[in-house]
Amino acid sequence: MIQSVAVPGKLRTLIVDDTALYRRAVTDALSGLPSIELVGTAGNGRMALAKLEELQPDLMTLDIEMPELNGIEVLEAISSWRKKPAVLVLSALTVQGSNLTMRALELGAFDFVTKPEGVRSLEVLKESLAPRVQAFAERAILRDRSHKVAVSRQPVVAAAPRPGSKAKRLIVIGVSTGGPQALAQVLPHLPPDLSVPVLIVQHMPPLFTAALAESLQRKSAIKIKEAEDGELVCPAQVYIAPGGKQMKIKSLPNGEIRIEITADPPENHCRPSVDYLFRSVALQAPGSAIAVILTGMGNDGAQGLRLLKRTGCATIAQDEATSVVFGMPREAVATGAVDDVLPLESVAGHLVNLLAHGKPS
């Protein structure tokens, strides 16, 4: 958890990476951000622990694969500290990197970025890193100042429960920054005999969504897997869109629903995109879904959720107080198409009650 900010309006930030080139790239990416004060760097995990004790930063960017102590060992070492920084990890785009990243997220890191390869790798890293850090920093500073932005429920008239409305056949969830931790607080509380399937878009690159599914499965009774092209959805099964691909649904004449995985272009700079999935659900299964927008940066999912609401779907957004970044839920609420704004810990129970009774408990 972010502690009090030493310099008003800025998060004291430590950069940890064993490669000087990447330390410089991260420094360049963050040095111009208005909410960041760079206070130091470290070249390995052991140095990082010393710097953490000395500098007491609010935020740390942490390379996972390092000599002396790797990033996982650093996170394990500080897990019991009363005051510790928020952590964003840097990971290799590999199977091993994806598994280590999931472990880092389980240990409390709020997000990750991958170290891309190629001629533009450092530039791509900067483009990916800076907005994530700035969005998180702005949110953390607001919390530190206790300036909560009140978000009231904004129901749409057509959204009110009404006799004859369609039974809900599926749950669809969109989530980004802070998503693995958010999903780890929702999916384990869904029963293993849930009456509908759950389709999830979590903004992630290839390889990482398979590792995410495995990580979440270890915590949950409901079945969780990375979605595959052409498979038919089943109740009590969670399908996570593959990283780097788009996921949509197709309703078949016999009433079954098939998943389609495509290489269609990104939407809102995202692939997988929440809007892409939500739009297909609105077209293929109008009025038959419960749609949820959880923590995340940007506005992906807002217009898709609005379209779902127009067809008679139920809609939920995570509240600001429990969101790592309130961008996606805020944009969804701003459309006027959200039925309920809920703290994260209430989402699973609300979903179960909506399926059972058409209303919360």
The CA distances from residue 229 to 115, 237, 242, 258, 338, in Å, are 28, 15, 10, 8, 30
Relative to beta strand 246-251, strand 237-240 is unpaired
Query: Cβ distance 232 to 256 under 8 Å?
Result: yes
The token pair that represents 129 in the structure block: 């890193």
Rounded-to-integer distance, Cα 282 and Cα 310, Å: 9
Is 176 part of the annotated catalytic residue set? yes
* Residue of 17, 300, 319, 339 marked catalytic: 300
Rounded-to-integer distance, Cα 293 and Cα 316, Å: 6
Query: Cβ distance 183 to 348 under 8 Å?
Result: no
For residue 76, report the phi and psi dihedrals to the nearest 5 degrees.
-65, -40
Is 269 part of the annotated catalytic residue set? no
* Residue of 98, 203, 280, 350 marked catalytic: 203
Is 18 part of the annotated catalytic residue set? no
Residue showing tokens 């929440």? 274
The token pair that represents 136 in the structure block: 């998180």
The token pair that represents 269 in the structure block: 């700079």
Q: How many residues does the chain have?
A: 361
Q: Cis peptide before 272, with omega less than 30 degrees from 0?
A: yes
Q: How many other C-beta atoms are found inside a 10 Å radius of the C-beta of residue 104?
A: 27
HSE-CB for 306 with a 13 A CA cutoff: 14
* Residue of 35, 98, 176, 215 marked catalytic: 176
Active site residues: 176, 203, 300
